[in-house]
Chain A
Amino acid sequence: MTTRYFGKPIKRNEDPRLLTGQALFVDDVHLPDMLHVAFVRSDLAHARIRRIDTAAARERPGVVAVYTAEDLGDYWRPGPLLVPPPPVKDIVFHQRTQVPLAKDKVRHAGEAVAMVVAESRYIAEDAAEEIFVEYEPLPGVVDLEEALQPDAPRVHEDLESNLAAHVIQEKGSYATAREQADVVISRRFVYDRGTAAAMENRGIVAHWDFKSQHLTVWDTTQAPIPIRNGLAAMLGLSEHQVRVIAPFIGGGFGPKIMMFYPEEMLLPWVSMQLKRPVKWIEDREENFYATTQERGQIHQAEMALTQDGRILGVKDVFLHDTGAYDPYGLTVPINSQCTLLGCYDVPNYYSEFRVVFTNKPIVTPYRGAGRQHGVFVMERLLDLAARELGLDRAEIRRRNFIPPDKFPYNNQIIYQDFAPLVYDSGNYEPALDKALELIDYQRFIQEEQPRLRAEGRKVGLGIVTYVEGTGIGPYEGARVTVEASGKVSVATGIGTQGQGHFTSFAQLVAEQLGVDVGDIFLVTGDTDQFYWGAGTFASRGAVVAGNAIHAGAQAVRRKILKMASEELEVAEEDLELVDGTVRVKGVPDSAIKLGELAVKANPLRGAVKPDAEPGLEATAYFGPERGATASGVHAMILEIDPETMLVEIQKYVVVHDCGKVINPLILEGQIQGGVAQGIGNAFYEQLFFSENGTLLNASFMDYLLPTATDVPAIISDHLETPSPLNPLGVKGAGEAGAIPVGPLFAQAVEDALDIPGLEIREIPLSPNRLFELIRGERTEREADHG
């Protein structure tokens, strides 16, 4: 079959709608009689609630209802555990999930204490201000290391300590490897907190239609189907009484896969109580507290190597900050643990982590989802080892790559999907070579850098590699239908937050059915359109939903061929699907429009053959055996103003391998966006908490996202090592851009500054922090607050 759609840089189907304001977002939903919700949130990170006085708020004109935890009655319960702990031996896990409204005690600043429902958001906020909460402040648990001290205050007083989990995974024997090593590099690494800061904050509209006994919920979720199932269970409804719609969403990045947020539990319930539609749109300030965050870890790691730079083993012991609750289980630290190994053949590995409760907003996956930290530790260890051994930094990586003939490669530990961490395929050396060529490595280090250094300029290069576990199960499904118009509709259960699903998925169908991409209408994220599914996370949309759609389209293709072969009285092998028709190969006059065939397949009179299904439609599912492992190399050149410590990125190269590429244009956008977020994490974005746990920079004035002038144009190239785990041979690409930027930045900054003994072992950096590091004022960052 000739390929005409798969792999083509087709412009996005959804962009005209998005760019002309014809795309529905949650806040665009306006319903008659709709009420508006505002929350009273705790100013304190850790405090006992003595008393809540709602009398004044209830009396304010326009206020319809006020709720505290007490007012929720039996509906008050902690949220579900979204991901149970993986089957690792001797695992310790203490489940403490978020509650809809705080009762007795608040555990992080911004935790909701009361809810006001009013005729407008203005009135709701005025009333929220009138609710008086009497707190007894408690000492905050902020610092990760202090949190585990025996005398530390406890976030959950029913637990013996702030330990949320303890996991050890091992491959081989690190102790033996260490004994055999010529060199052991041992260091402490810190990776601090940030927030995803999606362009669209969260939002929910819930509408309980009392007469039809039906609940409709518009939600900025990445996982509408699990939300539907959970809501039905919580509210005592049939799943068929609940419709959850995740319309267009302005960025997900992981925090919108978290469930159930307190607001998600409360809004549908309130709509049922009041029999009126209710709306809550998170404002930007709330987003800094009420939406989950990521990234706080402290690692003590070491690498044992031979004299010629071969890794004998790695040991990593780290603390992971889960915030006040742990509803997402261990996904983030498991990702750190598993992604650390990277592209390298590491024969012995000891990894141990402790998850710590703190009085900070909840931590759940955010683009990269723990992978950053692992990559940071590994890549930094390799840089330090290269320095110690006098090896070139590209060369030490090359020497340790898993060779292409060793795939599938078993890392002998358990991944976030509970399956063994086995890399399906990979070919790392060509990617490194390509990146070295694109960054012009030899010329830079041999000519350019010495010349510029002689002029007193501080220019440096970084080059790092990484893997990304993507496309994990359990499954997704899709229904593909040829309509009477000849256009094709496709429904799948996952949500979409800007990834270009309306185009890339359409290409998969176009490829099979020979229909123009523009004639394929895709529905995602509406539980009434497709019943089954899990959600958009872990860079799995293209892999899992994509392959389900591919399978569905293939099934429809088979139906078309079978029917047309009967109509035209020719063998199926002699037919082709072209331009929305099916025809005898090379005989355009024989063409039947797919729409005509669809009508024939669904006749109003006459008989459909026994056992035949009506219509040109098929539903298919796909569940991979395990995740597909993508990989890549990033390289950059930056210059530092040695007086101000401002950094300018001069060149940025990405060589990426995510298997077969469905749409290079969309992939380019994913990478560019990921790198922008990575640059933000590395040099601009940092959440600052006071010693009591309150957030000091909950606005875009002080939480600095990189802007267009801070993010360079990216030079990229793609290699295609297909995944054997799915028919399309694709791997995920959603997080790749963001993952390796921290160690890349650190390496390039070290290289630029060229100060003997200066090591960058923390992220994020800033001009101020570089100034401090150079002065040697604080070589060790205090655990959590820089």
Chain B
Amino acid sequence: MKPAPFQYFAPTTLDQALDLLERYNYDAKPLAGGQSLVPAMNFRLARPGVLVDLNRVPDLAFVRPGSDGGLRIGAMTRQRQVERDPLVAERAPLIHETMPHIAHPQIRNRGTFGGSLAHADPAAELPAVLTALQGRFRLESKRGQRWLGADEFFVDFFTTALEPDELLVEIAVPPLPARTGWSFQEVARRHGDFAMAGLATLVTLDEQGRVQEARLVYLSVGDGPVTARQAAQVLQGQEPTEEAIQEAAEVAARQDVDPVSDIHASADYRRHLVKVLARRTLRVAVQRAKENGQG
């Protein structure tokens, strides 16, 4: 379990890093926390010819308030820092609630917020959460910068819209609207494992207490974050009663997902968990939305 030979660069400015990505292009792989990439290299499942280590590049790790009332999070911010940041807890409680589910503290100490998003593991928590939150992603290259929404950023199984010369540098999280509740839950064999299924849910109520908007984004049941649009449709404009929640959960399991079997969970069991998670997260999110009536 030794990696195949590779060249290693440790740039000290963003510009140098982007130069290297431009020069080595498809051969290059940025190294952030290394918590997925390095094991994959040791198994020789990933064999980048060039590693561009971002750990010495300044100004990529930060949590800042956004002018819109949301958050700006630097791609190299350690997951543990995001987990403990009071501004995250205040402005993005869904992220705050999710962080402890990501692997183990040792891994979160090294693993980065942006690294997990750029890796786009369909079983990872953050892609689903950022999709639910409609986060925006700032990509930089020598050619310039561009912003992408989560729906555009996540393309497929371990695939994002990042071009080989581009780096994810920052993520913008919009503020939650008033009367919005959230919940993140997952079902994993052991705490810290990749979940057999997980769900990030946001519910916004209107002034009459009906569902103005619901967003349910699953992980581990498809090739990337899976948005349960039809379940959300069921709730739209409805009183969030137990019956409505139950129906939405049924629809999510029946119509929104098409999970596959693996050694830990059959497709049927996953489909069942999809329903269970919808029920459980919707109940919590609705309750929190009611409590957040003041906005």
Contact = CB atoms under 8 A, between A and B. Distances in A.
Interface string B258-286: 00000111101100110010000000000
Given A121-B2, A643-B276, A697 B190 contact: no
A767 B189 CA distance: 8
Given A122-B5, A768-B265, 20 more contacts: A121-B2, A126-B5, A283-B1, A285-B1, A285-B43, A643-B276, A701-B194, A702-B264, A704-B193, A707-B190, A707-B192, A766-B189, A767-B187, A767-B196, A767-B269, A768-B266, A771-B266, A771-B272, A772-B266, A772-B268
Interchain residue pairs A-B with the least CB separation, the first 3: A283-B1, A643-B276, A688-B263
A420 B263 CA distance: 43
Contacts of B89: none
24 contacts: A121-B2, A125-B1, A284-B1, A285-B1, A643-B276, A644-B187, A644-B276, A646-B187, A688-B263, A704-B189, A704-B193, A706-B190, A707-B190, A707-B191, A707-B192, A710-B190, A766-B189, A766-B264, A767-B269, A768-B264, A771-B266, A771-B269, A771-B272, A775-B268
A122 B2 contact: yes
Contacts of A699: 43
Interface string B175-219: 000000000000101111110100000000000000000000000
Interface residues of A, number: 31
A644 B190 contact: no
A686 to B, nearest CB: 8
Contacts of A709: 190-191
A701 B4 CA distance: 21
Nearest to B276: A643
Contacts of B192: 707
- Residue of B43, B44, B263, B272 ringed by the most chain A CB atoms within 10 A: B263
A775 B191 CA distance: 26
A704 B190 contact: yes
Given A702-B263, A768-B269, A684 B1 contact: no
- Residue of A283, A699, A701, A768 ringed by the most chain B CB atoms within 10 A: A768
B252 to A, nearest CB: 15
B47 to A, nearest CB: 10
Contacts of B190: 684, 704, 706-707, 709-710
A437 interface: no
B167 to A, nearest CB: 27
Nearest to B277: A644
Given A644-B276, A684-B189, A696-B263, A772 B269 contact: yes
A644 B192 CA distance: 17
Interface in A705-753: 706-707, 709-710
Contacts of A766: 189, 264
Contacts of B265: 767-768
Contact of B263 (A126, A697, A707, A775): A697
Interface string A122-151: 100110010000000000000000000000
A707 B192 CA distance: 10
Contacts of B276: 643-644
Interface string A746-786: 00000000000000000000111001100101000000000
Interface string A683-702: 01010100000001101011
Contacts of A702: 263-264
B38 to A, nearest CB: 13
Interface in B10-39: none
Interface of A: 121-122, 125-126, 129, 283-285, 643-644, 646, 684, 686, 688, 696-697, 699, 701-702, 704, 706-707, 709-710, 766-768, 771-772, 775, 777
Nearest to A696: B263
A440 B201 CA distance: 42
Contacts of B44: 129
Contacts of B266: 768, 771-772
Contacts of B2: 121-122, 125
Contacts of B194: 701
Nearest to A777: B268
Contacts of A777: 268
Nearest to A710: B190
A127 to B, nearest CB: 11
Nearest to A643: B276
Contacts of B268: 771-772, 775, 777
A122 B6 CA distance: 12
B207 to A, nearest CB: 33
Contacts of B273: 644
A777 B268 CA distance: 11
Contacts of A644: 187, 273, 276
B267 to A, nearest CB: 11
A142 B153 CA distance: 43
Contacts of A704: 189-190, 193
Contacts of A126: 4-5
A702 B263 CA distance: 8
A689 to B, nearest CB: 10
A283 B2 CA distance: 9
A775 B192 CA distance: 28
A643 B191 CA distance: 17
A121 B2 CA distance: 8
Nearest to B273: A644
Contacts of A684: 189-190
Nearest to A688: B263
Contacts of B272: 771
Nearest to A775: B268
A768 B267 CA distance: 10
Interface in B217-268: 263-266, 268
Nearest to A283: B1
A71 to B, nearest CB: 24
A416 B194 CA distance: 42
- Residue of A129, A284, A686, A771 ringed by the most chain B CB atoms within 10 A: A771
Nearest to B187: A644
Contacts of B263: 686, 688, 696-697, 702
B281 to A, nearest CB: 13
A708 to B, nearest CB: 10
A352 B190 CA distance: 38
Contacts of A707: 190-192
A719 to B, nearest CB: 34
Contacts of B264: 702, 766, 768
A709 B188 CA distance: 13
- Residue of B190, B191, B266 ringed by the most chain A CB atoms within 10 A: B190
A692 B104 CA distance: 35
